[in-house]
Structure 1
Amino acid sequence: MHQGRWMTRTIYSLKISLLSSQLGISNKDKAALLDVCLFIVTSYVKPWLQCILAVKAPFQDLCFLKAMKAYEIIDKNISKAALQKFCQHLWYLTDEVSVLSLFDDDIDQETKVKIVANLTKEYPSANGKRYIPSKDELCGPLYEKNIDDFVSIKSKSLFNRLKIVDDSFLNESPTTWPNNASFQNAKKKVYTLRAVNDTAERAVKLMQDFHGLITVDEEQINFC
């Protein structure tokens, strides 16, 4: 229900397209609506429904970024608009958070081996700062990267934050992890994580409502 309420425009677009013959819509509007619906069903729905899972966020974000670049072949305008928006939301593509991909079942074992190898690499992405592309770049350098490219020695700090003391599974082959107790215990912890976007938005809304109860004076609101 919660995920659905943010998709009203998506749902309405699909319904209008299905009922377009009964609504007297012009051919031009039908064509534009079909372009939007094609983007929704081929590129948008699956990432949106999985976006609450923080474990899947790094790899999924990178895949979505590449998919939007490839969408240029279908519709260059939609591809450009989606990329311009998405390039403002790349906080999961950092060395500390990308290590969550170790626990993502969608990632192959070869990539996980590379992630483990990069945990000893002195290579903080963008000198430890989140990569923010310029307006002209449209995330350019990211298109050639794989998820393991974002992992460095700094990534292990996430284990400390989550109090994952036993990381002995890193010394074993990923093929053994499904039966490895230390991996399974760590996986349970990381799967309790949720993407923070919505939580932050709810907190901001509560603060705004609280301010409104105290005062409506703009100058006083700045001191709340």
Structure 2
Amino acid sequence: MCCFVVLVYLEWWFTAPSVVQAPRRDLNLMKALLNYSTTNSAISTATSEKLQRHLWYLSEELVGLTLFDEDVSLAMKRRMLESMKRQVEDEDEETLKRCSRDLATLAVSQLDSFASPKIVRLFEKLYLATDFLEADPSSWGTNRTFRAAQDQLKTLKVVNDHAERGGGGGSSHPGSGSTGP
């Protein structure tokens, strides 16, 4: 257990509260858990199956938070923007759904594969301007509306991780009516 905590989990535990980093960190943690199978397949299987049920930040809407993550490459942000331009078959207002991909798919997935036009709904719900989406991500750092939205999002905390750490009430996912994003 100590090896698992030191080699895999410790980094993610301390960096979990950032909402703009949550989708990327969840995906990277899942990949680390799956890769841990070379060290201990039982722990890898148990932890990755458990985390698979808590990938709320990899939903079609919340993955858009990574557009504000400074650690996401410009190339990835461009690919996410392209994914956002895809047509959505069903545009009805549905409740937030967590990622439902199988473990083998998650092991090779990239952030842009989760992105869809539904990301704009997140910005609308949070009253964030979206004009910056028309520009190349390389210019976002000087865009006032992008910077204002980024500053606002950086003040938010990941709901489930905050609650698990004894930081107060909340729910296990943001789509349940909690005060999270």
TM-score by length of structure 1 reads 0.66
Q: Which residue of 1 aligns with 2:29?
A: 64
SS of the residue corresponding to residue 95 of structure 1 reads coil
Higher RCO (C-alpha 8 Å, min separation 6): 2
Name the counterpart of 2:73. 108
Question: What's the Cα RMSD here?
Answer: 2.3
The C-alpha deviation readout for 1:134-182, integer Å capped at 9, x for no partner, is xxx5x232222111111111110011111113x2222222222222212
Q: Report whether the alignment pairs 1:80 with 2:45.
A: yes
Aligned counterpart, 1:50: 15
CA distance in 1, matches of 2:87, 2:22: 24
Structure number with the higher helix fraction is: 1
1:182 matches 2:145 = yes
Structure 2 distance, partners of 1:131, 1:183, is: 26
Matched to 1:38, the amino acid is: C
Mapped partners of 1:140, 1:195: distance in 2:
26
Q: Which secondary structure does the structure 2 equivalent of 1:92 belong to?
A: helix
Once residues 153 and 133 of structure 2 are traced to their aligned partners in structure 1, the CA distance between those partners, rounded to angstroms, is 15
Gap change, CA 1:181 and 1:61, over 3 Å in 2? same
Amino acid at match of 1:194: K
CA contact (8 A) 1:162 1:189 kept: no
Q: CA deviation at 1:123?
A: 4.5
Which amino acid is 2:75 matched to? E
Q: Output the CA distance in 2 between the equivalents of 1:90 and 1:55.
A: 14
* TM-score, length-scaled by structure 2: 0.80
Identity of aligned residues (%): 31
- How many residues of Structure 1 are paired with residues of Structure 2 in the alignment? 163
2:110 matches 1:146: yes
